């Protein structure tokens, strides 16, 4: 059974339809990369799964249960954690307090302050520093670490490489690789196709709110994804 199933999801802002008829399944341990140009609807889709934006139609099924009517905090309690674009840390609070606050809503599981710091060793010397004083890469690490403190079964990551130096991106992805290898299920919104394809087991390319291309990573050629990204050759599918 899939850990996450999205069926015919629709969402928008007033008259604007940002997500149209999106369906997919994500099994335990999978890494689903959501790619697509600016405004394609990736963030809105992620927010609907997290429960911070209301879908106008369709279903979000998590571990076999329809969670469409549950608000975001209940979804965190079920094991869905989101790292939003721009990180949204409590910048005046210390890194440690940012992490401990998240633990207040934690499920039982392997993640605690100690194990999170093992996964993100770069945060160890920064624990007492105000989060706002950290570098972009350290702040991103803190945001992912904060999500882990809730002991998620599903991690939703929105543009974790945005605005970071290449070295910081390398470091964040290195930590992410550790989480993936440990079996964490991830839905990742990423503008950097190379980064996304390096970690994905499944890829969905969105265009103007719709799924333009969808498939297992190994079945998709980069060129077909690029074409779908830019709305070229919409019929192109798969490696053929
Ligand atoms: P980006 O990479 O730029 O974040 P995205 O693929 O994540 O793009 P969304 O942010 O989901 O796309 O945006 C989808 C559409 O919804 C776009 O047309 C965008 O302008 C619009 N949109 C997003 N947020 C809002 C909002 N708060 N109010 C009105 N329209 C919005």
pLDDT on residue 32: 97
State the residue for tokens 């015919």. 8
pLDDT at 238: 45
pLDDT at 234: 52
DSSP string, 116-161: HHHH-GGGGGGTTSBGGGS-HHHHHHHHHHHHHTT--SEEEEE-TT
* pLDDT score of 183: 82
Mean pLDDT by 10 residues, the chain (240 residues): 94 95 95 94 96 96 95 92 84 90 80 87 91 88 89 91 81 83 90 89 95 93 89 55
Residue 20 three-state SS: strand
Amino acid 172: pLDDT: 82
Task: Report pTM.
Answer: 0.90
**Residue 135 Cα, ligand 1 centroid: separation in angstroms?**
26
Short-list 7, 3, 4, 18, CA closest to 59: 7
Nearest CA to ligand 1 atom 17: 39
CA of 62 to the centre of ligand 1 (A): 24
| Per-residue confidence (pLDDT) for residue 204, from 0 to 100 | 96
Q: How many angstroms separate the alpha carbon of residue 17 from the centre of ligand 1?
A: 10
What is the predicted pLDDT for the residue at 240?
A: 38
Instruction: Go through the domains of the chain in sequence order and give each one's CATH number.
Output: 4-229 (3.40.50.300)
Cα 228 to middle of ligand 1, angstroms: 19
Q: How big is the CA angle at 202 (ends 196 and 3), to the nearest 5 degrees?
A: 115
Which protein residues touch ligand 1 with a CB less than 6 Å away? 13, 16, 18, 36, 38-44
Cα end-to-end distance, the chain, whole Å: 29
Question: What pLDDT is stored for residue 233 in this prediction?
Answer: 64
Task: Please state, as a whole number, how many other Cβ atoms lie within 10 Å of the Cβ of residue 159.
Answer: 21
Mutate-to-test residue for ligand 1 from 10, 15, 40, highest number of ligand atoms within 8 A of CB: 40
The pLDDT value given to residue 163: 77
Place of tokens 């299920």: 185
Question: What tens digit of pLDDT does each residue of 39-89 get?
Answer: 999 999 999 999 999 999 999 999 999 999 999 989 998 999 998 887 788
């Amino acid at each position: 059974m899939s850990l996450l199933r999205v069926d015919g999801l629709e969402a928008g802002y007033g008259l604007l339809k940002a997500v149209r008829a999106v369906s997919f399944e994500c099994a335990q341990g999978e890494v689903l990369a959501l790619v697509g140009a600016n405004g394609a609807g990736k963030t809105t889709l992620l927010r609907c799964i997290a429960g911070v934006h209301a879908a106008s139609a369709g279903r979000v099924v998590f571990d076999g249960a329809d969670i469409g009517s549950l608000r975001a905090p209940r979804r965190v309690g079920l094991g869905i954690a989101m790292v939003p674009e721009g990180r949204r840390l409590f910048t005046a609070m210390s890194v440690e307090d940012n992490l401990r606050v998240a633990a207040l809503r934690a499920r039982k599981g392997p993640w605690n302050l100690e194990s999170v710091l093992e996964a993100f060793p770069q945060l160890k010397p920064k624990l007492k520093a105000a989060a706002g004083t950290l570098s972009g890469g350290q702040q991103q690490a803190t945001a992912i670490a904060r999500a882990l403190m809730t002991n998620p079964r599903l991690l939703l990551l929105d543009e974790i490489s945005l605005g970071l130096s290449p070295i910081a991106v390398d470091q964040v992805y290195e930590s992410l690789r550790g989480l993936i290898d440990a079996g964490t299920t991830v839905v990742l919104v990423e503008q950097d196709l190379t980064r996304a394809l390096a970690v994905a087991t499944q890829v969905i390319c969105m265009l103007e709110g719709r799924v333009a291309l969808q498939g297992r990573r190994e079945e998709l050629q980069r060129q077909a994804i690029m074409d779908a990204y830019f709305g070229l050759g919409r019929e192109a599918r798969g490696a053929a």
